[in-house]
Structure formats: structure tokens, C-alpha cells
Amino acid sequence: MKYRQLGRTALSVSELCLGTMNFGPRTSERDSFEILNRSVEAGINFVDTANQYGGDLGVGTTEKILGRWLAEDKSRREHIVLATKAHEPMSDDINDHGLSARHIQMACDASLKRLGVEHIDLYQMHHIDRSAPIEEIWQAMDRLINQGKITYVGSSNFPGWAIARANEKAIARQRLGLISEQSVYNLIERRVELEVLPACREYGLGLIPWSPLAGGLLAGGEGVATGRRHSAEMQKVVGERRKQLDQFDHLCGELGEAPSSIALSWLLHQPGVAATIIGPGSAAHLTSVLQVPDIRLDLPTLNQLDEIFPPCGEAPEAYAW
């Protein structure tokens, strides 16, 4: 496994971040434990979750599974960078969502209890809350840091302007500010290149892409034929992008690598990316991507990928003169 610093911090995280959204609703607790164990054995030290994960089993389920795994061996906590998120509704209570100072405090305390830990390494705002003043958010985050409950603050699904505003306010308060942004980013969905990635690079945030395989579209021909990817909507998209996906599969065949591996590796070749999330549903899925950090794509290959999946450019510079 290879490691990178998370944004401008001195914290080292594995280039593959274990996403846990499947734990509970799609992956049994036993299988989740096996994935966690094998991940740690492979050198993955970055584990990401969210307080709302749990699907039909109920919000908080995934954090509880992680908590029971951590409780099996207390030393595990010492070796992983633990990340979770807050924002989404946790109940029908009108104040049990968003980024009010009250909800941030209560959501953090609840996550700590479910996880069975004393602190969270990376506490992320799951979505932007346009009703919450940034001063209120930083007041709440500063309190959690002072209480020793969180170490770093990150954002998720934020636009570039919100990243800039949040960090300018943090600078004015003489605080570290946001150190990471978790966004949807893959060869098909490249809009973060317009403003989010430039903002991350300017303010020293590490980008953590989610949905690196575009819901299975980049997993290869077989990858979109089963499971949740076999929906009518997904098959429609496959049909619309058939030529593009065939070109991608052909290039991957020439490289001798699985399409999913190339899609993940491409992300790790993008400036500003700290780690890419993988969300294996089984130990076999995990094993199939562990070699990704060792794949090196040369410039001609990267150019070919840009030809198949054209970049968006960078909005701040595209029209500046």
C-alpha cells in the first residue's frame, strides 16, 4: 500500500480509502468484519463512514458495525484514520439534521457512542447547509476540537465557492479550516475539475473521490450486468455511452488491467487527489483492487483516457484573460 498526506496536513492516509456504505444494508456484519480485517492487513489505514449509513436497517447501523469491529480489538483504533460525516436527517425531529451548532454537537456525540471511540479523526460535513452561517459552523467545530472529540474538519459535496468561503473564515479565526473535500469524481463525472479541484489545490484540501466507478459504468462489461447496476436507468446510460465504454474497455484490454482498476488508478494520477474511496461488497471485491496503487499510467495513456472521456477544464481560468 502507498500513502499520501491528507491535504496540507502531516497526516498520512492510504491511497485507497475503505468506504463502508454497504456495511449492513448490502454486506452482512460478518462479511463487513472480513473486509475490514483484510483491508488492515493490506495496509489500508483510512476508513470512511457516515452517521446516516444503514439503509433499510436504519440510520446509524453502519457506524454501529464499525464500533463492534473496533471493540473486538482495542488496538485497531490506534492504526486507522477514522472519518465520519454529519448533516443528513437522523430522525423526524425538525432540528435533527443540517449544520446548526446544536445538531453538529449532538450528531458528533451520537457518532462517538455508536463507534465506541473517544475521538473522530476526520469529521466531515456531508452536504452544504445554506441556512447555517459559516461562523456558527466553525464555532461548533472549534468546540468539538477543544473538547478532543474531533481532530480535523472536512467537507463533502461542497461547491468551490463554499470551500473558499469556509477557509477564508477559518483563516480570519486563525484556524486550520477544511483539510479535505469528498466529491463525486470519476472519468465520466468530471465537473469537480471546473472549480472544486482548483479550490482544493489553492487552499490545500485533499480531494477524496466517491463513486469512482460511476455506479458500475466503469467496471467493465460484466460490472454493469448484475446487482444494483442492473436497473433500467443504468442500462439506458450504458446504451447512451456504449461507444465510449467500448473504447475504454478496449484500452483496458490493451493495458492488461481490469476497467475498474484503470478507473481507480486514473483518479490517483490527478493532482490534488489524496485517496480514492473503494466500497467493496465482499472480500473478493476488495482483493481485486488492492493492486491499484501500484499501477502507473504513462502520459500517452492518460491522453487516451482524456480523448475517450473529455475533461471539463478549469472554470476560473477557462474565461480569464
Catalytic residue set: 53
In sequence order, what are the beta bridge partners of 95? Answer: none
- Give CA–CA dist 312/321, Å, rounded: 18
- Give CA–CA dist 92/89, Å, rounded: 7
In sequence order, what are the beta bridge partners of 208? Answer: 182
- Give CA–CA dist 78/45, Å, rounded: 10
What residue type is assigned to position 217 of the chain? L
In sequence order, what are the beta bridge partners of 153? Answer: 123, 178
- Give CA–CA dist 83/123, Å, rounded: 6
In sequence order, what are the beta bridge partners of 23? Answer: 27
242-255 and 299-308 helices cross at what angle (nearest 10)?
160
- Give CA–CA dist 276/265, Å, rounded: 9
Scored b (16 or more CB within 10 A) or e, 297-317 reads beeebeebbeebbeeeeeeee
C-alpha cell at 12: 498520512
Write the secondary structure of 220-247 as one string of H (helix), E (strand) and C (coil).
CHHHHCCHHHHCHHHHHHHHHCHHHHHH
